[in-house]
Amino acid sequence: MDLIVLGCSGSYGAPAGGACSGYLVREGATTIWIDCGNGTFPHLQEHVAVEDLSGVVLTHLHPDHCVDLYSLHVYVRYGSDLSRLPVFAPAYSQRLLGALVADWGDAFAWHAIDNGAAVTIGELGLRFSRTDHPPPTYAVELTSREKRLVYTSDTGPGWSVEAFEPGADLVLSEATYTHDHRPSAIHLSARQAGEAARAARARRLVLTHLWPQIDPVTAVEEGSESFGEAVTLAAPHLVTKV
C-alpha cells in the first residue's frame, strides 16, 4: 500500500505549495483520494490520472478538507467521460456543498459514512470512527491484504487511534500544534499525537496538519519523544510505503 501526501498544511494554506489536507492511498489498481483540501487537486494530477481514481473520501466538511471537490466536479463533468465517481462523505455533504453548485449532474455517486461504517473500495477495506472535532468528522482505517493504515483526520484529545485495532502499520495523525502552543482543544499537539500512537502500538507515525506558524523541528522532536521513536513529518508529494 502506498501513501502519497498531496497536502498537509493545518487549517489554511502555507506559502510555497503548502496545500491543505489531501492524500492518495494506492493498492494495486485501487486509488482513493482522501480529503480534498484546497490546493490538493493540482498536486493530485502530478501523481495519478483523475480517470484512475476509484473513489473519494471526505472525512468532514471543514473547507481545508473538502473544497477541491468542486474542482473535481468540474473536471468530471466537463473535462472527462467520467460519471458517478463514488464519494464517501458525511450524510449531509451533497446538500451542504451543493449550495455552491446549481446541480451536481451525475458527476458523483454519493455514499454516507457514519461511525463504525465499513465499505470496500476495490482492493481496500475502509472503516470509519467518529472523532472529537466539531462537525461530524471521521477517522478512517484502510486495510489491504497485508497492511493497515489509520488516518485520524482532525480530532481533539477526546478521541484516539486506539478506537481501531492496535498495531497499525502506519498512523497518519493530525498534530496541529505543539504542547506549548495549543490555542484550541479541537486539535492535537505533536506530543498528544505521539502518546496516542504509542498507546495504540503503531509501527510508524507520520504527523500531519501542522499549523503553518508552528516550528516543524519542534513538532518532530516533541512527537518523536512521546511516540518513543522517530516520527516523520508529512510534506507535499511525500510518497511512502505503508
Q: Which residues bind Zn ion (CB under 5 A)?
A: 62, 154
111 bridge partner residues:
88
Residue in 232, 189, 227, 195 with CA at minimum distance from that of residue 211: 189
C-alpha to C-alpha distance for 41 and 241, rounded to whole angstroms: 22
For Zn ion, the closer of residues 141 and 154 by Cβ is 154
Residues 127-137 as b or e (16 or more Cβ within 10 Å = b): bbbbbbbeebb
187 and 158 Cβ atoms separated by less than 8 Å: no
C-alpha to C-alpha distance for 94 and 89, rounded to whole angstroms: 8
For Zn ion, the closer of residues 30 and 155 by Cβ is 155
Q: Smallest distance, Å, CB 137 to Zn ion? A: 6
Q: Smallest distance, Å, CB 211 to Zn ion? A: 12
For Zn ion, the closer of residues 50 and 190 by Cβ is 190
Q: Smallest distance, Å, CB 115 to Zn ion? A: 17
For Zn ion, the closer of residues 54 and 155 by Cβ is 155
For Zn ion, the closer of residues 68 and 154 by Cβ is 154
C-alpha to C-alpha distance for 227 and 10, rounded to whole angstroms: 21
Residue 13 grid cell: 494554506
Q: Smallest distance, Å, CB 200 to Zn ion? A: 21
Q: Smallest distance, Å, CB 131 to Zn ion? A: 9
103 and 91 Cβ atoms separated by less than 8 Å: no
**Residue 69 one-letter amino acid:** L
